[in-house]
Amino acid sequence: MNSYCKNILLTGATGFLGAHLLNELMRKTDATIYCLVRTPQQDSSEDRLMRNLAYLFGEEQTVQWNTKRIIPVLGDVGQDNLGLSVELYNMLSETVDTIFHSAAMMWHFGQLDQFSEVNVKGVRRLLSFAEKGISKRLNHISTLAVSGRRCDNPENLFTENDFHENMECPNAYVQTKYEAERILLPALNQKKGIRIFRPGFIMGDSLTGKFKEHITMDAQYLHLRGHILMETAPPLYDDDFMDITPADYAADAITHIALTPETENSVFHICNPQPILKSEIWECVRNWGYPIRTLPAETYMEEVLTLAESEAFLEGLKDIIVYLSDYEKSPAVFKCSNTLKALEGTEIHCPPPDKELLQKYLAYCVKTNFIPAPSSNTGGERA
């Protein structure tokens, strides 16, 4: 067991990637893990946390955990002192040696000030917490979306050493995650024990395809359902790639790196080393039995809005309409050299985004009634 961390503060454990991080921390350490949980008044922080873990990993697995190591703490990064009493805040500041910050507002639309309170000021609050009491390491979960809509090099690459000044942000989520990195980078450069992890598109478990219970809160899965119902692919370009990163790989990679002392004060891209063309994704969807049309990217906006032929089409359009004006070619191909170097000699490898992986995700969506079963498919690829 890794003894680098003895007392951990984890935010976002009631989310998807955060729960996978907790799963890996339970597996790889003997640490006590304080889970900061923001919860509705009628619920308890422990109930909300354990329900999410049981859904994702099954009660059979979670009952085997030493749950005395998991301590739910009612709090909120969107509030002063993390929403904790002065006594509890001071106690944790003298106890916690490592922070994993996975909590965030993740919608791609909404009021900027609400996003800022959690995604930007929340990071400031955690930095203040890290500097109070005993020395702490801060592992921050950012996003590859901070690359924005442009790249500064002719090869259209976004590396772990890149941070674009004056980045063009497509929405409030990206803008506030970008501002959070801007806050953290000086502390990282001053060697204060900071790591920034930039995940790509986090998808379901690579073995089971399982995704978060509230799947309708995820933009990528809404895109999938919307276009399947519309029977129309999004705009496709010849050199337009997409990242597909299974959650289990992401959590495994993040925790391994975060538990390795020599990786402090670095940025890591947690993405699939093998990006996939978006056209290949939709070809797989088509081959699985969904009659997906492809429209010219240059005239997509005009043509798609003339195709409202059925209730299913209109239902799908509702899933994606807020993103219609944001359908542009992907800004970059993401490099993950630091991550691959840190994982050398381990058995941690990202599954390729091949037909087998994509079909697991489709099958899970059908199983949970998130998307209808394809009429020409009974569960496997169409002949």
Higher local confidence (pLDDT), 294 or 166: 294
What is the per-residue burial (b if ≥16 Cβ within 10 Å, else e) of 98-137?
bbbbbbbbbeeeeeeeebbbbbbbbbebbbebbeebeebb
Give the pLDDT score at 148: 78
CA 244, 158, 145: angle at the middle one, nearest 5?
55
Q: Largest Cα–Cα distance of the chain, in whole Å?
A: 65
pLDDT at 271 over 60: yes
The CB density around residue 203, as the number of other CB atoms within 10 Å, is: 26
Give the mean pLDDT of 86-112.
89
Give the mean pLDDT of 237-257.
94
Give the pLDDT score at 356: 96
Residues contacting 325, CB < 8 A, separation 6+: 301
Of the pLDDT bands very low, low, confident and very high (cuts 50, 70, 90), residue 330 is low
25, 98 in Cβ contact below 8 A? no
Give the mean pLDDT of 15-34.
96
CA 42, 44, 47, 53 dihedral sign is positive
pLDDT at 86 over 90: yes
> How far apart are the C-alpha atoms of 36 and 13, rounded to whole Å?
8
Give the mean pLDDT of 328-354.
91
Give the pLDDT score at 379: 44
- Of 223, 234, 235, 230, the C-alpha closest to 298 is 235
- Of 277, 282, 380, the C-alpha closest to 333 is 277
CA separation, residue 205 to residues 26, 40, 198, 212 (Å): 18, 28, 18, 10
Give the pLDDT score at 331: 65
Q: Residue type for 277, please?
A: L
Give the pLDDT score at 112: 80
- Of 307, 280, 308, the C-alpha closest to 295 is 307
- Of 323, 303, 374, the C-alpha closest to 220 is 323
Give the pLDDT score at 381: 46
Domains of the chain by range and CATH?
7-205+243-274+332-351 (3.40.50.720)
> How far apart are the C-alpha atoms of 363 and 348, rounded to whole Å?
25
Give the mean pLDDT of 186-200.
96
Give the mean pLDDT of 142-160.
79
Strand-strand pairing, 194-199 and 137-141: parallel
pLDDT at 199 over 60: yes
pLDDT at 249 over 90: yes
pLDDT at 309 over 60: yes
pLDDT at 154 over 80: no
| Averaged pLDDT of the chain | 89
Q: Residue type for 40, please?
A: P
Q: Full-prediction pTM beyond 0.85?
A: yes
> How far apart are the C-alpha atoms of 154 and 152, rounded to whole Å?
7
pLDDT at 328 over 70: no
Give the pLDDT score at 322: 75
pLDDT at 19 over 90: yes
Give the pLDDT score at 41: 61
Give the mean pLDDT of 106-122.
83
Give the mean pLDDT of 123-144.
97
> How far apart are the C-alpha atoms of 376 and 3, rounded to whole Å?
53
